[in-house]
Chains A and B, each alone.
Chain A
Amino acid sequence: MITGLYQSFKRFVFDVDQLSRFSARMVLSLFGRPVYLAETMEQMYLIGIGSLFLVILTGIFAGQGLALQFSMELADFGSKNYLGRLMALSVIRELGPILAGLMVAARVAAGITAEIGSMKSSNQLDALTAFGVDPIRKLAAPRLIALVVMVPVLTVICDFIAIMGGWVIALFIAHLTSTTYMSAVNAKLTFGNVFIGLLKPFVFAFIIAFISCYKGFTATGGTKGVGRATTESVMIASITILIVNFIVTKVVFTFLKGYL
C-alpha cells in the first residue's frame, strides 16, 4: 500500500512538473510570430457564443434560487431590503465566477482536449511539426487568448443575469420595489468587489487552457485514451478552479480588505 501511495505521489509530482513546463511553453508561444489571428477569432466565437446559452441558463436559475433562499432568511429578521446587497456580494464575488468557470470548464475543456487528443492520435500534430509549424503556437495559444478574453466576458454576463434573476424574486416573491433592490445592488458594486469578480475568471481561463491543452497534447492510447484524457481534463480543471477560487478569495481578503 505504501509503495502504491509513493508511486501515485511520484506520478502526481511528475504530472505537475510536466504541466508547469507545458504551461510555460504555452505562455511563451504568445510572443513572436506567426500570430494565428483567424484561429484566435474562431476560438473566441466558439468559446464565447458557444457557451453563452449555457451561462445564461445557469446564471438565471442559480440567481433565482439564491435570491429565494436569501429572501426567506432575511424576512425572519425583517431585513429583506438587504437582498440586493447580499445578491451583489455573493454573485459578483463567488457565484458568477465559479458558475461561469465551471460551465466553460465542462463544455470547452472537454472540447479542447478531445480535439487536440484526436489530432495527436491520428498523427496530425506530427504532420504540423513536419511542416515546420509549432503545434503549441498554432493550437494552444489561440485557445489560451480566446479563453482569457471570453471567460471574464461570460462571467460579467452571468453576474448580470443572476442579479436580474434575483430582481425577479425581489419583485414578485419578496415584494420589494425595483428601486430598493437595485440601489442595494449598486451599493455593493465597489472597486474591490468588481476587481475580485474579474480577477477570478481571468485566473480560471488560464487554468482551463493549461489543463485542457496539456491533456490533449499528452493523450495516449487511441480513442479510449482520448476519452480518458477528456474526462480527466474536465475533472482536474473543475477541482482546480474550486481550489484556486478559495486561494484567490483568501489572498484578496488579506491584501485588499479595505476596498471590499
Chain B
Amino acid sequence: MIRLENVTFGYGDTPVLREVSFRIAPGESRVIMGPSGSGKSTILRLILGLDRPWSGKVLVDGRDIAALKGAELRDLRKRIGMVFQDGALFDSMTIGENVGYYQFEYSKKTDDQIEGEVRQMLQFVDLDTELIDRLPEELSGGMRRRVAIARALLSTRPSLMLFDEPTTGLDPQATANVLALIKKLQEQERISVIIVTHQIADAVKLADKFVIIHTGRLVFDGDLDQLRQCATPEVQDFLSPFRQSVGEVIKRNFV
C-alpha cells in the first residue's frame, strides 16, 4: 500500500508539492493527472525514494521511505519497478544488456540463462528478439518504452510499477501498444500500476481511480463517476480542453 501524508516537497527554494495526501490500496491502480509542471512526476520520485519530502510522510507498505537507508531501501525498491519518461535506457548498452541489467549485476545466473530470460521478456512486451543486439538509439520511442517496461519487469518481478508519462510523444499506434502492455501487466501479472500522465483518454483506459494535481496541490481524488461530477474549478479547467475536442470529434461524426 502507498500512502502520502501531507507531503510538501520542492526543488531549491521553490515548493512543487504542497500538503498532498492520498492512499493507494494493495492491488489498486491509480492515474495521477494534471497540467505540465504541476508536480505529478515528483510524486513518483518520492514513492521510489529518489527524493525526500520537506515535510510529511511517504509510506510504502507502512514504512516511511525517507527513514530507510542502504539495504532496507534497496529491498523496498525491489518491489517497485519504474519506467521513466523516454525509458531512461542505458544508451551505451545493447537492448539485451539493458533488459538483463539487474540480472547481470546481481544474479549468479550464466550469461546464456540471462539471455534466454531477456528473449522471453522481449516477446512478452511484443518486441522482436532480433533487437537484442541493437542500441537504444536505433529504436523508436514506443519500442524504447517497451524495452524499459521489460527491463523493469525482469529486474525484480515487482508487484508495483510506476509509469512516468508512458505515452507522451508517441504516435497513436505506439500509444495503443504501450497501453495494451500496461493493461496486460494489470490483468495477467496482477501488478498494481501508478501512472502519471496528462493524456485523459489514456488515463480512463488504464484505471478506475484518479488523482489530479494542480500547482502542487491535490484537487481531486476519486473514481470516474466522481470525476464526471466534480465541480472544482481547477478540475474543470483541466478537463475542459479534452471535453471540447471530444465534443468536436463527435459533432463532426468522426467517431
Contact = CB atoms under 8 A, between A and B. Distances in A.
Contact of A130 (B77, B86, B90): B77
B88 A124 contact: yes
Contact of B84 (A34, A126, A132, A133): A126
Contacts of B190: none
Contacts of A171: none
Contacts of A132: 74, 77-78, 106
Contacts of A34: 105
Contacts of A131: 77, 101-102, 105, 155
A127 B84 contact: yes
Contacts of B45: 126
B130 interface: no
A123 B105 contact: no
Interface string A93-136: 00000000000000000000000001100111011011111000
B78 to A, nearest CB: 7
B89 to A, nearest CB: 8
B78 A126 contact: no
A121 B86 CA distance: 11
Contacts of A123: 84-86, 88
Interface string A32-61: 001000000000000000000000000000
Contacts of A122: 86, 88, 91
Interface string B104-117: 01100000000000
B178 interface: no
B235 to A, nearest CB: 29
B50 interface: yes
Contacts of A130: 48, 50, 77, 80, 82
Interface residues of B, number: 20
Contacts of B82: 126-127, 130
Interface in B52-105: 74, 77-78, 80, 82, 84-86, 88-91, 101-102, 105
A8 to B, nearest CB: 17
Contacts of B85: 123
Most B-side CB within 10 Å, residue of A118, A122, A129, A131: A131
Contacts of B91: 118, 122, 124
A123 B48 CA distance: 14
A132 B79 CA distance: 11
Interface string A125-151: 011011111000000000000000000
Nearest to A34: B105
B102 A126 contact: no
A183 B88 CA distance: 59
Nearest to A129: B50
Contacts of A124: 88-91
B202 to A, nearest CB: 20
A235 to B, nearest CB: 24
Nearest to A130: B82
Nearest to B98: A127
A126 B105 contact: no
A7 to B, nearest CB: 14
A250 to B, nearest CB: 39
Interface string A76-88: 0000000000000
Nearest to B50: A126
B211 to A, nearest CB: 22
A143 to B, nearest CB: 14
A127 B77 contact: no
B144 to A, nearest CB: 11
A214 B23 CA distance: 37
A34 B108 CA distance: 14
Most A-side CB within 10 Å, residue of B48, B78, B88, B102: B88
A127 B85 CA distance: 11
B86 A127 contact: no
B36 to A, nearest CB: 15
A66 B84 CA distance: 55
A80 to B, nearest CB: 54
A119 B84 CA distance: 13
B8 to A, nearest CB: 21
7 contacts: A34-B105, A122-B88, A123-B85, A126-B45, A127-B82, A127-B90, A133-B105
Going nearest first, the 3 A-B pairs with the smallest beta carbon separation are A123-B88, A132-B74, A127-B88
Given A126-B82, A131-B77, 7 more contacts: A119-B90, A124-B90, A127-B84, A127-B88, A130-B48, A131-B101, A133-B105
